[in-house]
Amino acid sequence: MSTLTLWADDVTAAADWYADLLGAAPYFTRPGPGGGLQYAKFRTGDLDAEVAIAHRSFDPAAAAGPGGAIVHWHVDDFDGTLARLLAAGATEYQPVTPHGPVVTAAVTDPFGNVIGIMHNPHYLEVLDRTDAAPAAAG
């Protein structure tokens, strides 16, 4: 994943919510008419993946409710992350679902975006192998 774009009618409120959730302020913002934000971008994870929040007026497929593709963020503490999302005002979209050793769930944030979370032991094994691999000769 490079950039996941989420939509909000109030980008300032959404940026504040995600800053609290991610533990970091957006590294890039663009003001809109009236002084509020129309765009905010956060860096997340070890691979510099980005989460962008854009004003809903830019959404090419604005829908009446949550939907579309669900991107799952891998989390180390699945139960704690789900509890934190729900305590912050997200609502259940898909219940906790075990898939063998993998577990997933999805919530809707207060701005109508679907956020998937997952815990996958295989993902962690791949990261460990990648971290241990020697650097390629250049």
Beta bridge partners of 76: none
In this model, does residue 99 exceed pLDDT 90? no
> Within its chain, how far is the Cα of 70 from the centroid?
10
For the ranges 41-45, 76-80, 127-131, which has the lowest average pLDDT? 127-131
The DSSP bridge pattern shows strands 49-55 and 37-44 to be: antiparallel
Q: Which residue has the higher pLDDT, 82 or 68?
A: 82
Q: Which residue has the higher pLDDT, 74 or 96?
A: 96
Q: Do the Cβ atoms of 25 and 37 come closer than 8 Å?
A: no
For the ranges 10-24, 76-90, 101-115, 119-133, which has the lowest average pLDDT? 119-133
Q: How far is CA 61 from CA 11, 57, 70, 116, in A?
A: 18, 10, 15, 20
The pLDDT of residue 39: 93
In this model, does residue 137 exceed pLDDT 80? no
In this model, does residue 135 exceed pLDDT 60? no
In this model, does residue 56 exceed pLDDT 60? yes
Q: Which residue has the higher pLDDT, 41 or 46?
A: 41
In this model, does residue 21 exceed pLDDT 80? yes
